[in-house]
Chain A
Amino acid sequence: MTPQQQADLLRILTEELDALERAGVVALDPAQREAIQKHAAARLKDLAGQFDVDTTQAERQLSMGMKIAAALGGLALVIATVLFLNRHLGRLPVWMQVATLVSAPIALACAASWIARDERRRYFSTLVAVVAVAAFVANLAAIGGLFNLAASPHAWLAWGLFSLALGHHLGVRVLVAAGLTGFLLWTSVLLSGDFGRIDHLEIMMAAGAVIALIPGRWPGLVPGTMAPVFRVAGVSGFLLAVLILSQEGRMSVLPMGRRAAEQIYQVVGLLVSTAVLWWGVKRNWASVFVPGIIAFVAFLLLRMADWLWNLVPKYLFFLLVGLTAAGLIALFQRIRRRV
């Protein structure tokens, strides 16, 4: 359980206890009530002293504001870094340009690590870590431009690994997610040998499946707080690969024609997204359920568009889409009641 979850539980416990007393369900004597309140207050103070946790609803709202500020600030700092390098880098001798480009992500990663030693400064450490990842992306891109290097697909692996390692080191989920996305992109361009040409998407499917299964199969490799990130990235990567293959069969390794491969993946997509949906509901994992439902709806809409777009008037098509959505809502409500 994270420190924030512990703080939330303590807050809910005291609020619920008050509500139960008011409703006459329990009757605590003043000494017991005071002991519980003192314990909760002391524990919350302890948590707030050690970690950057919100102990009241007002603090939670303030934290949301800080998250938005951190995201905007990170974006602004990334733009500032890129513009600064654009303006001044080329005026330096080549060896100084290279030294600056290589040392910037390392220095920023170390700075983020140093700032994160005080848990209460985690917003700042996240901000610096995001800039470190951007600096590494700019580093490889600028070195490539400086020496006319052909864009390499392996840059995705390097960027992914850096982001994953730094995110894991600091416990920043967004960096872990970015790292896994980089890894998935690397697998999708690996065999084409081209930086931007996605091909042989079955490799991305396999990589997505492995990433989604890591937290369950090898729990020692991933901390509990990062398990949902692995599942959401893995399941999304897997389903996205199937979705693309169902529309672009030429990206498949299957030894058959483009159209036949597309038809196979159209069926596979509907079946697999349904299975993923069921897996998410059964385990009560939003990290699996949400990408599952998005993929299921996407597959369904694409099939409907393929089958019906030219067959029925447009108003009827959208009416059918709306009715299908209503049907899905009713279906999920029934599933929810059963679960």
Chain B
Amino acid sequence: MRVHALWLAIATVIAANGLGLYGVWENRSGAPDADIEMTSRELRFYGSIEEDGSAQLSMEWNSPDKLFDAPRISELKLQPAGEAKPVWVALEYGGTSWQKWSQGVERLEGIGEQSRLIAFDAGLDPAVLRERHPDGRRVLIVRGTAVAREDGFGRIIGIAHPRLYVPAGIAPNLVVPQPGKGPRYVVRVRSGKKFVPWIADVQPGAKE
């Protein structure tokens, strides 16, 4: 019995890692679901390289306050003034959702530094969401959470991957963005079959 317990402990390590790594392999094998070039405005580097040379980028995104009306709230199975619920979120880089959002907040200072990644739609099935927004060069689909407020409107309040890992090999290309100086690096973000994003490359330089 006691020897079996040691095998159970070892099997637990192998099974937990096996399941996680199988999910990673499944996500990254084949053609990516999305492949988008973003900048330091969307993936912000706060200037801290880890001791092992790797780094983390914080995914910055914006979203309209009144994204969902009553029919969409009901479609997402959210309860007005209820708890936040997990949903799949569509994030568009630039494009019409950015134009709409930036027009609404134009009076704010520092709009030129704001992230152009806009959470503009959500659904309960990522495949259906992808069918609705098929442009994998512009729309990234990730897990997130949405909530419906008392005023009858709903919004996205979080995404499941707020920070993305940058391997030590490409982390030196990161430069801390300076206010008013524009983007300082370009990041290629991919996501796969399981809609988990990862950083494929970082290059220094500006891209608008």
Which residues of A line the B interface, CB within 8 A? 86-91, 94, 98, 101-102, 105-106, 109-110, 113, 136, 139-140, 143-150, 155, 158, 161-162, 165-166, 168-169, 171, 193-194, 250
Nearest A-chain residue to B5, judged by Cβ: A169
Residue-wise, chain B 40-53 has the 8 Å CB interface mask toward A (1 for contact) of 00000000001111
Query: Can you list 14 A-B pairs, Cβ within 8 angstroms, ordered by A?
Result: A91-B53, A106-B10, A106-B13, A139-B17, A148-B163, A148-B165, A148-B198, A149-B23, A150-B196, A161-B8, A165-B6, A165-B9, A169-B9, A171-B2
Query: Contact at A91–B52, with CB atoms within 8 Å?
Result: yes
Q: Which one, B3, B53, B54, B161, contacts A150 given CB within 8 A? A: B161
- Complex CA gap A94/B168 in Å reads 10
A143 with B17, Cβ < 8 A, contacts A90-B54, A166-B9 known: yes
Query: Contact at A102–B17, with CB atoms within 8 Å?
Result: yes
Which residues of B line the A interface, CB within 8 A? 2-3, 5-6, 8-10, 12-17, 20-21, 23-24, 50-54, 83, 86, 143, 160-161, 163-165, 167-168, 196-198
Query: Contact at A87–B52, with CB atoms within 8 Å?
Result: yes
Extra contacts, 7 of them, besides A110-B6, A147-B165, A149-B23 (Cβ < 8 A), are A91-B52, A101-B17, A102-B13, A109-B10, A143-B21, A158-B16, A165-B6
Query: Contact at A91–B13, with CB atoms within 8 Å?
Result: no
The interface residues of chain A, by DSSP majority, are classed as helix
- Complex CA gap A141/B33 in Å reads 25
- Complex CA gap A94/B15 in Å reads 19
Query: Contact at A88–B10, with CB atoms within 8 Å?
Result: no
Shortest C-beta distance, B12 to chain A (Å), equals 5
- Complex CA gap A16/B50 in Å reads 63
Query: Contact at A169–B3, with CB atoms within 8 Å?
Result: yes
Task: Give the chain B neighbours of A106 by CB distance below 8 A.
Answer: 10, 13-14
Which residue of B10, B14, B17 has the most chain A CB atoms within 10 A of its CB atom?
B17
A94 with B12, Cβ < 8 A, contacts A148-B197, A149-B196 known: no
Task: Give the chain A neighbours of B163 by CB distance below 8 A.
Answer: 148
- Complex CA gap A122/B74 in Å reads 59
Task: Give the chain B neighbours of A193 by CB distance below 8 A.
Answer: 86
Q: Which one, B14, B50, B52, B161, contacts A148 given CB within 8 A? A: B161
A165 with B196, Cβ < 8 A, contacts A105-B13, A150-B143, A155-B16 known: no
Shortest C-beta distance, A203 to chain B (Å), equals 17
Which residue of B6, B24, B143, B198 has the most chain A CB atoms within 10 A of its CB atom?
B6
- Complex CA gap A303/B11 in Å reads 46
A113 with B6, Cβ < 8 A, contacts A149-B20, A149-B196, A150-B143 known: yes
Task: Give the chain B neighbours of A140 by CB distance below 8 A.
Answer: 16-17, 20
Q: Which one, A86, A94, A169, A194, contacts B52 given CB within 8 A? A: A86
Task: Give the chain A neighbours of B160 by CB distance below 8 A.
Answer: 150
Query: Contact at A166–B6, with CB atoms within 8 Å?
Result: yes
What 7 A-B pairs have minimum CB-CB distances, sorted nearest first? A90-B52, A90-B54, A169-B5, A165-B9, A158-B16, A150-B160, A165-B8
A87 with B6, Cβ < 8 A, contacts A139-B13, A143-B21, A148-B161 known: no
- Complex CA gap A147/B160 in Å reads 13
Shortest C-beta distance, B17 to chain A (Å), equals 5
Q: Which one, A90, A109, A171, contacts B168 given CB within 8 A? A: A90
Task: Give the chain A neighbours of B143 by CB distance below 8 A.
Answer: 150
Nearest B-chain residue to A163, judged by Cβ: B9
Query: Contact at B9–A145, with CB atoms within 8 Å?
Result: no
